[in-house]
Chains A and B, each alone.
Chain A
Amino acid sequence: MPDTAVLDIAYLDAIVERHGRDANNLLQILVEAQERYGYLPPAVVDALAARLAIPRVKIEGVAEFYSFLHLQPHGTYRVLFSDNITDHMLGSGALMKQLCHELWVEPGKLSEDGLVSVNATSCTGMCDQAPAMLVNGLPIANLSAPRVENIAELIRKRVPLADWPAEYFRIENHIRRKDVLLNSAFQPGSALAALLARGGAQTLDEIKLSRLRGRGGAGFSTAAKWEACRAAAGEQHYVVCNADEGEPGTFKDRVLLTSYAEMMIEGMTLCAHIIGARQGFIYLRGEYRYLLDHLQQVLQRCREQNLLGQDILGSAGFDFDITIHLGAGAYICGEESALIESLEGKRGTPRNRPPFPVTHGYLNQPTVVNNVETFAAASLIALNGGAWYADIGTPASSGTKLLSVSGDCESPGIYEYPFGVTVEQVLADCGASHTQAVQISGAAGKCIAPAEFGRRIAFEDIPTAGAFMVFDQRRDMFEVARNFVHFFAHESCGFCTPCRVGTSLLKNMMDKLAHGHGSPYDLTEIEQLDQLLLSMSHCGLGHSACNPVLDTIAKFRPAYDRRLAHREYVPAFNLDRALTQARQMTGRNDAGAHLGEYE
């Protein structure tokens, strides 16, 4: 543990200097400071308040917003088990218990010797190689009981992470099906050469012709977004790549960042040319911290090849460069306006809209925010033309889509299909059998029952940001929905009343059913709460928090009916059990010391 009295302030100063003493980089500074000190002791908060000339209350407020930042000691080893349903289906719950047992710690608490803490965290994007964990921010996948036993031993012996078996940290791409995007033998510089040959306005025309729509979920027209941003007045324009990939069950951006980063970066650069931006950001989720060095190297290679920097590819005045910002464990920062707040070093709270980022984004300047896959597709379109791309897929959903397939199937991984592929086809290709349900587009998405497996993946039928989680007949769909409800309660940013309180109420109600205190009354309550979330919430998180429950109630009603142990309302807690302590203290166990329900 760092002694706050002898805190290495020189190191902190170097971090602050590297970030230009700019309070907009507060989150980046906190992330780096924590990597050094293990947590953010009061001395760091005070030093930063003085150096950045901001109130300490702001620093604390930011630090406590992000799950991965800590104002209290959290151990030399900080272990976080991925909490997605696909991790649980492969036994993560038991593995976490095992590790806690072997290390004598309680989940969420620091061990008495300050050595280790073990907790759960939202989906880490390793569902195709689950169960997974993060140790001091680095992912370990394919967890098993022997592996966990070994990890406990490594921690007990205080072996530095650098000396842990290298294969623990190996993350696979698992690309199972390639189409135009994953098959393209992309030559760095080729998309920018095409852009310069054709011209910016003409390239925008090609994007328009391609009918490319955003791959991050909402499916907004990419050309319309770029055009609006290009037309918006501002001192600076910005390009932001949304690599937050927080939607449970989604991991396709991880694979693109790992093996197709040049393509994405060139997509950002051609966007910069079109909208007139000189500065770009990649907002990389904290869970993908392990990709940071790799991405920095790719950026450096691009600079060396004059694909970034000044006068790109010799084109006078075409200046653009990219900075990577790390997230720190907050799903809401995938929402574009919360992402921008986070880029500005603040709590990731979604803004009031309008105005939208295309006119008032980063530092209130016109900003394009697109998903990783959208930028990669833009490169492909610049190379091959809009008409070529528009020919792929369906009329309303042109091109291809990467799916992150996980759950009950033989070959989980990345599948690229032209839009319009049926659910059935994907299930056949990934080797799924006895499938009961598919959750498409993550916790916020749709739950599809077998009768609908003929439906198509497309904006006009089943839209998706990429997650495709398969559940076979062994699975309890109530528990699936309950896992997602816990996710939303954990990730609600807390800004607006309906979602801050409503997602936690919903979580408690689902837990009440799970604990056998449910009655039809509770189901009606749940439905009303869902309605309220939908109509009153401030942003998409609150709006979609009800989806998993509404879908599963409609399609898997028996899973709920089984939980309705009572016909009439009963309270969430057992009154008689609540008296246990009083009975023990008074040494009584006669009928008079029990409530009526007791037999």
Chain B
Amino acid sequence: MSSFTLDGQTVTFDAGQTIMQAALAAGIYIPRLCYHPDLKPHGSCKLCTVKVNGRQASSCTYQAQDGLVVESNTSELNDERRALLQMLFVEGNHFCPSCEASGNCQLQATAYELQMMTPHYDHFYPDRPLDASHPDYLLDFNRCILCSLCIRASRDVDGKNVFALSGRGINTHLIVNAASGQLADTGFSGDDKAAHVCPVGVILKKRSGFRVPIGKRSYDIRSIGDLAEPGES
């Protein structure tokens, strides 16, 4: 069977698997935000950057190959990942204590995992109005990290194209498929895959807030790194 080494540990893989997929199957955590096991990889957040034979590559898009030497859990890479997290925090408006996703949020959990203590950079404080038009769901764009998971889920799984990226550079933002620009006027429904993939707290179900108290949520109980046990994907 083919294999590569990841931080010195031998990881076997099936043909066609990416480094991320092989690592997940082996129960090894590589930080990630724009990857979801059910969706086509995108390679944009760059949290999953590893060194493959000494060169940086996104592990979620890089095909595993026999004999590769992959480094992931090094202080150099983790320092850089922490800086990426800090960038994501200052790019949007993240007030964790008042966020319904707190404790279930992968951005927050990854920041804990990588011991990010402060946002470090100056905040951008972008102006991103909420969309509360839909009867069952709320969009709080303040927290959007532009990972495009909802876009891929809606397009590739739901067959709907409810979401898309618009703008460019630091003005990149999420839009919805309606002339009014409002979620209520799209084909979005709570049964969509897209309603359940947001790694942060943008796409929120109404009238269900704080059912699980803070302190008892996914990443309050286990760190995000521990979740990647064999079979999780």
Which chain A residues have a beta carbon within 8 Å of chain B's beta carbons?
A: 42, 45-46, 55-58, 60-61, 64-67, 330, 347, 352, 354, 489-498, 500-505, 508, 528, 532, 535-538, 572
Contact = CB atoms under 8 A, between A and B. Distances in A.
Contact of B44 (A330, A354, A495, A504): A495
B5 to A, nearest CB: 21
Contact of A57 (B56, B90, B145, B163): B163
B84 interface: yes
A495 B58 CA distance: 13
Interface of B: 41, 43-47, 49, 56, 58, 61, 63, 80, 83-84, 87-88, 90-91, 121-122, 124, 145-146, 161-172, 175-179
Given A502-B87, A532-B80, A496 B44 contact: yes
Q: For A42, A490, A528, A535, which residue has the most chain B Cβ atoms within 10 angstroms?
A: A535
A500 B90 CA distance: 12
Contacts of A67: 168
Nearest to B180: A42
A500 B170 contact: yes
B165 A492 contact: no
Contacts of B45: 496-497
A353 to B, nearest CB: 9
A536 B56 contact: yes
B120 to A, nearest CB: 9
A46 B176 CA distance: 14
A501 B90 contact: yes
Interface residues of chain A: helix, strand, loop or mixed (majority): helix
Nearest to A531: B80
B164 A504 contact: no
Contact of A492 (B87, B163, B170): B170
Contacts of A352: 41, 43, 58, 61
21 contacts: A55-B177, A56-B177, A57-B164, A60-B175, A64-B168, A65-B166, A330-B168, A489-B170, A495-B172, A496-B44, A497-B87, A497-B88, A501-B88, A501-B170, A504-B124, A504-B169, A505-B121, A532-B80, A535-B56, A538-B46, A572-B122
Contact of B161 (A58, A330, A528): A58
A536 B145 CA distance: 17
Contacts of B58: 352, 538
A342 to B, nearest CB: 12
Contacts of A497: 44-47, 84, 87-88, 145
A56 B186 CA distance: 11
A498 B166 contact: no
Nearest to A534: B56
A502 B169 CA distance: 10
Contacts of B63: 354
Q: For B44, B46, B58, which residue has the most chain A Cβ atoms within 10 angstroms?
A: B46
Contacts of B46: 496-498, 536-538
Nearest to A528: B83
Contacts of A57: 161-164, 166, 175-177
Q: For A501, A503, A536, which residue has the most chain B Cβ atoms within 10 angstroms?
A: A501
Given A55-B161, A354-B63, 8 more contacts: A57-B176, A61-B166, A352-B58, A497-B88, A498-B46, A500-B146, A538-B58, A572-B122
A503 B175 CA distance: 23
B175 A492 contact: no
B190 to A, nearest CB: 19
Nearest to B172: A494
Given A55-B177, A505-B87, A536 B49 contact: yes
A492 B43 contact: no
A505 B122 CA distance: 8
B84 to A, nearest CB: 5
B124 A494 contact: no
A501 B177 contact: no
Given A57-B176, A497-B88, A64 B80 contact: no
A61 B165 contact: yes
A140 to B, nearest CB: 26
Contacts of A572: 122
Contact of B169 (A58, A489, A536): A489
Contacts of B179: 42, 45-46, 56
A500 B80 CA distance: 15
Contacts of B172: 494-495, 500
Contacts of B47: 497
Contacts of A56: 177-179
Given A535-B80, A536-B56, A503 B177 contact: no
B43 A538 contact: yes
A56 B177 CA distance: 6
Contacts of B56: 535-536
A495 B166 CA distance: 11
B171 A494 contact: yes
A18 to B, nearest CB: 26
A585 B228 CA distance: 56
A471 B176 CA distance: 47
A532 B83 contact: yes
A46 B145 CA distance: 28
Top 3 closest pairs, chain A to chain B, by CB? A494-B172, A57-B177, A501-B87
Given A58-B161, A535-B56, A65 B43 contact: no
A52 B44 CA distance: 28
A205 B163 CA distance: 49
A494 B168 contact: yes
B84 A536 contact: yes
A27 to B, nearest CB: 14
Contacts of B166: 57, 60-61, 64-65
A347 B165 contact: yes
A61 B146 CA distance: 13
Q: For A46, A61, A502, which residue has the most chain B Cβ atoms within 10 angstroms?
A: A61
Contacts of A491: 169
A502 to B, nearest CB: 6
Contacts of B162: 57
Nearest to B86: A501
Given A352-B43, A500-B172, A494 B167 contact: yes
A61 B164 contact: yes
B30 to A, nearest CB: 14
A492 B177 contact: no
A535 B49 CA distance: 9
A532 B170 CA distance: 17
Nearest to A65: B168
Contact of A494 (B61, B83, B146): B146
Q: For B49, B87, B91, B167, which residue has the most chain A Cβ atoms within 10 angstroms?
A: B87
Contacts of B83: 528, 532
A354 B57 CA distance: 11
A231 B217 CA distance: 54
A472 to B, nearest CB: 32
